[in-house]
Structure formats: structure tokens, C-alpha cells
Chains A and B, each alone.
Chain A
Amino acid sequence: MQELVLIQPIRAAEEQWSREAAHAAKRRDFEERLAECGPLAYRVARGVLRNDADAEDVAQEGLLRAYRRFDRLRDAQRFRGWLVRIVFRLALDRARTAKRREVRETEWAQPTRRPAPATAEELAASSEFQGHFDRALDELPEKLRLVLLLAAMEGHTLEEVAAMLGLPVGTVKSRLFAGRKKLAEKLQCYVTRTKKR
């Protein structure tokens, strides 16, 4: 004996259709934000990892994760800060487990001997300085590092960084100052050594 089922197809169809419509609207809304916030996600990941392939990978993962959790975001104005935190956290996790770090540490242990750079631009551009700089940046506390990276991005004012992270502007300023000072302290010995050569 075959049993039949009693259903209400219109209601079921409406539910399915409204679910699909909501999904399409969500995707449209997210893609609009993607054009603006996609590069931001990439740069945050790149700032932490300093590796293009890893940064792209992590930024994509962060954006997809943000898309999946997009419904949970109650205040759409906080999307940028929310996305930045997701990507920053993912990038830190990746950096901790990255095997490339060992390669960098090997390079750090055996610096190449080159003539001392004369100006700040030359100093910053030299690969030896870059290696020291990356290491010094990695050693900074996370909250200082994120503020330094966001403030150094083109087109970001301190007020925007503060709004993005949900912090007072004064806190952002003090973190920025403390972060730059710590970086300078860590690089001081390198610059002194370079000048003595």
C-alpha cells in the first residue's frame, strides 16, 4: 500500500522563493561592499604575512567567512572593521604556522654585507633593513600592529581608523605613537651598526 502525503505547495514554494531572494539580496549587498573592502582585506593580510600568495589566500578566506556570517552583522556601518578583524586574525594564525618564517629567520641570521644606505628612503628600501623591519613588526603586540598597518594605508585618516576599530581617536594616536617608537627602538641597533661600517 502506498501512502500519500498532504502538502501545501504554495506555502512551501513561497518559503523557498523568499529564501532564495534573501540569498540573492545578501550576495548583491556583499558584492557592493567587496569592491571597496576587498583591497583593504588583501592589504591587511599582506601587511601581516608579507607574502603575496599567502595574503591572497587569507584575504579570500576572510572574505568568504565574512560572507557566510554576513547575516550576523547587525550594524552594517561596522562592516569594514569587522572584516579587518576577521582577516587580521586569520593572517596571524597563518603567520604562526607558516613554514616560510624559518626561511626568513635563516636570512636574518646571515645578513648580506652591503654598503650603508645614506637616506631614509634607501634605508627603507634595502632588503636587509626590510628583513629587520619585518621581524620587528612581527614582534609588536597585535593591537599596535593593526593600528600601525591601518594608519599607514593610503587614504586612511586617524578618525577613520578609530571608527573602523571602534576606538577613541586618542587611543589610536597613542597606539600609533607607541608602535612607531617601539619599531624605532628595535631598529636602532641596526641603524647604528650600519653607520659604523
Chain B
Amino acid sequence: MLCDTYKEALIEAAASGAALPISLREHVGTCARCRATLAGERTLFAAVDAGLHNAANARVPSGFLPNVKANLATETVPTRNPIPVWALVCATGALALAAAVLSLPRGTRDEGRTEAISLPRMVPAGAGGVGLSFVPEPKTRYSARTSEAFRQQNVSDPTSHEPEVLIQPEEGEFLKRFYAAVSNPALDAKTVVADEHEITAKPLVIEQIEVKDLKIENLDEEPGLAQTGTK
């Protein structure tokens, strides 16, 4: 009966590894059963600790880190939008609302401030049969909004000071890559070009120049030159 009162204290002592309280130590010194219980509990906790150590300290395979690095190398630039989905939904809703509000007929106050620009969006085809996209420069306080509209239409913002280039649509990606390579000093522009249009150096052959009947005339005798010289 007395031993049962010490049982919990014995387990606590074995679990914590702390020294036994004086009263418990005296009892264990005299009671063989409690001494055996304490020894058993200590063995059990030591086995638990050893099992945990084995489970938690496994040897890492030598090929593990190189494999991970190889997998990382195959990872491409993430194309996922870092903006959360809920933010996109809210922004879309707000844009739709704004578009709905702006599509309503404006009052006279707004009309007075806005300079109406009505120009055809397409310039007539030229001699080569090539039409040019044309967008008028915004001149009103809504220029920020129209700039956004230009961006959405994949047309560059006319208020920007960046140089602009007219190209065929399929050449856009190639030109971007080329400029990226040019602006990156670590890359050689030739390597960017070479994978699409391989450059092979060929010896330049110049045919022999034949000069026939070389005639030397006196330039002073020309009437035009003589007049300017006299003036």
C-alpha cells in the first residue's frame, strides 16, 4: 500500500532524470520492490530516448542534396501571379464597377474639360500593304486611365519616353530576348541570336577591279565651280 503512493513519484523521477527527494530515497533504500520499479522505469525511459535518437538521426544519403539541387535547376521561373486570388477577384470587380460607372453619360462639366479626339485607329495601308496601329495621345486628366487602356490593349503608352519600335507581331518575343541579352553584360548577344539564326563566318571574296580608260579632267574648267570660286 505504501509503495503505491510512491509509484507516480518514481515514474516522474525516472522520466526527468532528477535526483530523488529525501523521503523517496529513504523508502527506495529499504524497499526492494520500489527499487526494482525505479530501475525498470529508468531502463524504459533510456530505451525510449535511444529509440527517439535512432529515429531522429538517420544518416542522410550522399546523393540527397545533389538530387535536390538538380531538381531545383530544372525549376523554371515561376509564372504564377504572386497576388492572391481574392485580391484579383476584388480588383476585377472594382474595375468592372468603374467601367460601368464611366460608361454612363457624362455631365456637361466633364465634357468641358475633355478634349474630344476622333481619329481613325488605323492608318490606311501604304504602298507595302502594311497597316499601322495608331492611338492618339491622351491630353485630358483621364490620361492615366487611358494609359492603362493602352497597356491592356498591348499598345505602348504614348506618354512614355522609352524608344518605340514598329515590328511584326511574331518578332516581338525575339526582340525582347535580344534586348535582354544586350542589357545583361554577363550574356553575349551572339549566343541569343545564334540559336535561332546561326551565324557562320564565310571568307569575303572580292573580284578583281578592272579600271578601263582612266581619264583625268581638270575640275577648274567646269562652269559651275568657276562661278562659285569667283564669288
Binding site for B on A (CB under 8 A): 1-14, 16-17, 19-20, 23, 27, 30-31, 34-35, 38-39, 42-43, 46-47, 50, 52, 55-56, 59-60, 63-64, 67-68, 71-72, 119-121, 123-125, 129-130, 133-134, 137, 148-150, 152-154, 177, 180-181, 183-184, 187-188, 191-192, 195
Q: Is B43 an interface residue (CB 8 A)?
A: yes
- Nearest A residue to B43 via CB reads A120
**Which residues of chain A come closer than 8 Å to B229, judged between CB atoms?**
none
Within B168-216, the residues touching A (CB, 8 Å) are: 168-169, 172, 175-180, 182-184
* Chain B neighbourhood of A13, CB < 8 A: 176-180, 182-183
Report yes or no: A191 in contact with B55, Cβ–Cβ below 8 A: no
Minimum C-beta distance from B166 to chain A (A): 5
- Asked if B55 and A149 make an inter-chain contact with CB atoms under 8 angstroms apart, the answer reads yes
A5 vs B154: C-alpha distance when bound (angstroms):
9
Q: Are A19 and B65 in contact (CB under 8 A)?
A: no
The residue on A at minimum CB distance from B53 is: A152
User: Does chain A have a CB within 8 A of B165?
Assistant: yes
Could you tell me the distance between the alpha carbons of A48 and B118 in the complex, rounded to whole angstroms?
70
Determine the chain B residues whose CB is within 8 A of the CB of A72 once the complex forms: 82
Q: In the complex, which residues of chain A have a beta carbon less than 8 angstroms from the beta carbon of B77?
A: 19-20, 23
B88 lies within 8 A of chain A by Cβ? no
Least distance between A45 CB and chain B CB atoms (Å): 9
Residues in B whose Cβ lies below 8 Å from that of A7 = 156, 164-165, 167, 172, 175-176
Interface of B is mostly: helix
Chain B residues, CB < 8 A from A23: 77-78
| A9-B175 in contact given A1-B125, A181-B15 (Cβ < 8 Å) | yes
- Of the residues A11, A129, A149, contact of B52 by C-beta under 8 Å: A149
B38 nearest CB across to chain A (Å): 13
Q: Restricting to B66-121, which residues have a CB under 8 Å from any CB of A?
A: 67-69, 71-72, 75, 77-78, 82
Listed by A's residue number, 12 A-B pairs whose Cβ atoms lie within 8 Å are A4-B166, A12-B179, A43-B56, A68-B75, A124-B47, A124-B50, A133-B51, A149-B55, A153-B56, A154-B57, A177-B16, A184-B48
B30 proximal to A (CB < 8 A)? no
Mark each residue of chain B from 144 to 174: 1 if its CB lies under 8 Å from any CB of chain A, else 0.
0000000000111000101111111100100
The answer on a CB contact under 8 Å between A2 and B56 is: no
Whether the pair A6, B166 counts as a contact (CB closer than 8 A) is yes
B65 pairs with A10, CB closer than 8 A: no
* Residues on the B chain within 8 Å of A46, using CB: 55, 58
Listed from nearest, the 7 A-B pairs whose CB atoms lie closest are A13-B179, A120-B46, A124-B50, A152-B56, A152-B52, A13-B180, A46-B58
Known contacts A52-B58, A137-B55; is-contact A187 B47 (Cβ 8 Å): yes
